[in-house]
A and B are shown apart, each in its own frame.
Chain A
Amino acid sequence: MSILGTRVLRTEDPRFLTTGGVYTEDLTDDALDGACHVFFVRSPIAHARIGRVDLSAALAAPGVIAAFAGADLADLPSIEPMMAGMLNAKMTRRLLALDKVRFVGDPVAVVVTEHPYQGEDAVELVDVDYEPLPAVVDFDGALSNETILFEDAGTNVAVEFGNAASLKPELFDGCEVVVSHTFANQRVAPAPMESRAAAAVWGEDGRLTSWIPNQGAQSARDDLAKMLGIEASQVRMITPDVGGAFGAKFGADPEHAVVAWVSRQLGRPARWTETRFENLISMTHGRGQRHTITIGGSRDGDVLGYRLEIIQDGGAYPRIGAVLPFLTIMMATGPYLIPNAEAIGTSIVTTTTPVGAYRGAGRPEATAALERAMDLFAAEIGMDPADVRRRNLLPPFSEPHQTAFGALYDSGDYAAALDKALEAAGYAELRAEQARRRVSGDTVQFGIGVSCYVEITGGGDEAGAPQENATVEVHPDGTATILTGTSPHGQGHSTAWAMIASEELGIPVENFTVKWGDTDLIPVGGGTGGSRSLQQGGAAVQQASKELIELARERAAAALEASASDLQFDPGRSAFAVAGDPDASVRLADLATDERLFVHSIFTAPGATFPFGTHVAVAEVDTETGKAVLRRVITVDDAGRVLNPLLAEGQRHGGIAQGAAQALLEEVVYDADGNPLTASFADYPIVSATELPSFELASMETPTSYNPLGVKGIGEAGTIGATPAVQSAIIDAVAHLGVRHVEMPATPMRIWRALQEASAQGTESESA
């Protein structure tokens, strides 16, 4: 029986459950003996010119070894915005701010101490003169260019994807109904449970060894080398266990480079562990878009036109976040066939924490905008939102479908996912319950939200087609080692990669060791992000395993003095046997005795894959207090073939929770002066167990032809489908009271206000 498709328990778990993972802060490597501890002095002001930085009091404090300010690192290169040529090249950053600070949390100095407690005391003693400048915290303020963050750039616009002049005035010609609305897809914090950290030491050979929690050692190595102005070959990047990442730990950040620089400067190992306060103000945030949608169509439910206008808040220094509208635009029309559609985006800088990738990164925004538009359209024509969706979904297809925005959907059956989800939810009964609740006038009302999505996973980059490498080696003792260019941080690659190789090699899962995250051992790799790992990294493991069998076949032929073509490999025994003579056999492991038996292989995919699905959410809203409670979430997430349901379900659960949290609770908030108001877990309402129900997952598997495993990415489906479903359910619960829209997160205050406004408007129209 195939091991693929079965619920294999994770081989990783016993260690995590007992002695715990070895995260960067836990490292006890001998090379780090005697490490000093780095503490960052961060700007308390959103926007200011830096005057004098006085380190003298800190330098005199107990245990302080050294202190440095931006000027000390002035000979290091400026950090250019990523994706050269796309983002405004004048929006550069220094490792430590030199002339200006541009957000609360911008690092201006470091203090280095023998003991961590001493550093916590000493950072308070650094005295920085700031000459405050106006903060720029909102979209319109940034777009007005009244206050400019980067004087040399002359604008706060980091990049434009199309512009208003390119919009077609005739887009909605012929539509009986046109609805328009502007709303936020608010900024949220990735908030992995492990904050950022670093450890660094330089060898006598002048090479840096760096340990940082990351999503791909190779890109982290390259980023670090660039920031330090050295060659990538001078850096060995090692990835310890990583306590969650969600997109925010891809690459390396300025702080990681500063720790390495301090280590070189002082000639001793250096370490840094970020506090949660630092994490919430200086690790990249996610989302942060404003959408204006216009949707038009016929009164019987055909959507004929859709326009999406995006403003993206890139934060103080444009990074991947500023590029995300590109993905939002690519996925603008999602699973629907809309004859006329257009989408544009503008990314701006503001005096706030830089925005980066967060689980979904650009696609949740596209889905949230589109699904809100579908709901508004359905409400306007008085049609059931599920019916409107079904009517406009693309018909099933197995040959790739090209969209107007350049996406090439590989395979899909969107209506089947919708119907399956509605059936699993008991949609008709839910609507009946809603009707009963409305008639009864119960203070607790009942809402249902439906969200259909298609998303892009495993895309390539400017370097070309998506690919990943793997090395599989069988050892004489019957064990095996896999080297992968992916970089798990909770996804369970040790188990999944072993399953894939076990299927081919007949070696038990527990006999595999899976290694990643050491650039001296694995110099090339794409890491884990964009839901790429299984479809490329897993496919590479399968390909290498198959090639290893062919390599071994030649050796087996020699050992058995038989023709290679007469040999059959029996995974059940992990042995080759001569056809018709099962006694003439040789074990795979025995073929590794005289010469190492391994294969390094690169799998290249024809393109990105497009998983899809439907989420249904059920919420109750107390109309007297405005409190919304999420009662049920039912999802169909079709990511192709499922190799380990346990792991795939885990990915869906986590994503659903984060997606629901954005609709219900979570938001990074700044005041008008750019002060962060959500800089601790006491203030940032990170979702807890009490705010969520158990999730109901229905399965659907439409294999892709883009890899032999038939798999697509599953890591981000949850955040993409759940956010609009939950928001929609909340609005639906109070729609009959005149509420058309509630911004995310749908806090009791927002819902209560929406109810008050609807009630006031209702009174006005009655009296008019």
Chain B
Amino acid sequence: MQVELTVNGEQRSDDVEPRLLLVHYLREVCGLRAANIGCDTTSCGACTVLLNGESVKSCTVLAAQATGQDVVTAEGLAPAGELHPVQAAFRAEHGLQCGFCTPGMVMAAVSLLKENPSPTEEQVREGLEGNLCRCTGYHNIVRAVLAASGQAEVTA
């Protein structure tokens, strides 16, 4: 079947299997491999992308369902060679280690800050509950999101 959608600002039209997941479409058809697959149960969030500006887990969306919509991945957040403010905050606060959860975590954070530009630490933690990280203990991820929101750091 044919899907027509915008990916990182580029209008695309591709012939895909009806059962193709959005994450596989992005990775295999579009060659955008920042979004990762970390589980089978929509638990980990490593595949998080923005669909019409809202974060979705792209392992739980069919490519077909994205027809007519606007998808943004970590590759498309900022112009090539630049970092989006949330990406820059993740670097400044050492909010990533192995990097596997990172693209999904960044997209979830972008979406969270769009909905709530000045979250408390608790709200950040609740907002990122669906995105798992095994390396950072979440400490520096939380700091990165708070820093990206322009708020003073809450912990030393």
Contacts and interface: CB of A to CB of B under 8 A. Distances in A.
A242 B134 CA distance: 13
Contacts of A646: 94
A246 B96 contact: no
A28 to B, nearest CB: 8
B141 interface: yes
A692 B138 contact: yes
Nearest to A694: B155
A153 interface: no
A21 interface: yes
A690 B126 CA distance: 6
Interface centre among B37, B40, B97 (most CB of A within 10 A): B97
B135 to A, nearest CB: 5
Q: How large, as a class, is the contact surface on chain B?
A: 35 or more
A682 B43 CA distance: 6
Interface stretch (A6-14, A340-348, A370-378, A499-507): A6-14
Contacts of A695: 137, 139, 155
A25 B94 CA distance: 25
Given A276-B41, A653-B139, A689-B142, A20 B102 contact: yes
A277 interface: yes
Contact of B97 (A26, A273, A492): A492
A639 to B, nearest CB: 17
Contact of B78 (A18, A490, A654): A18
A653 B140 contact: yes
A689 B94 contact: no
A653 B138 CA distance: 8
B46 A193 contact: yes
Interface string A83-100: 000000000000000000
Contacts of B100: 21, 23, 192-194, 243-244
Contact of A16 (B46, B96, B155): B96
Given A19-B75, A276-B39, A13 B96 contact: yes
Interface in A1-59: 9-10, 12-14, 16-23, 25-26, 28
B125 to A, nearest CB: 4
B135 A689 contact: no
Contact of B134 (A14, A21, A23, A686): A686
B46 to A, nearest CB: 6
Given A18-B34, A20-B74, A117-B19, A490 B139 contact: no
A246 B78 contact: no
A654 B141 CA distance: 11
B122 to A, nearest CB: 8
Contacts of A489: 98
B103 A20 contact: yes
A18 B43 contact: no
A392 interface: no
A680 B101 contact: no
A681 B41 contact: yes
A28 B78 CA distance: 24
Given A23-B100, A650-B97, A17 B90 contact: yes
12 contacts: A12-B99, A17-B96, A19-B33, A28-B31, A192-B98, A241-B98, A244-B97, A492-B97, A650-B135, A653-B138, A654-B135, A688-B129
Interface of B: 17, 19, 27, 31, 33-41, 43-44, 46, 74-75, 77-78, 80, 83, 87, 90-92, 94, 96-103, 106, 121, 124-126, 128-143, 154-156
Of all A-B residue pairs in the complex, the 5 with the closest CB atoms, nearest first, are A657-B137, A243-B100, A20-B34, A490-B97, A16-B99
Given A647-B94, A657-B136, 19 more contacts: A9-B92, A10-B94, A13-B90, A13-B91, A18-B77, A19-B33, A20-B33, A193-B134, A194-B38, A243-B36, A243-B100, A275-B40, A276-B38, A650-B136, A653-B137, A654-B134, A688-B130, A689-B124, A694-B143
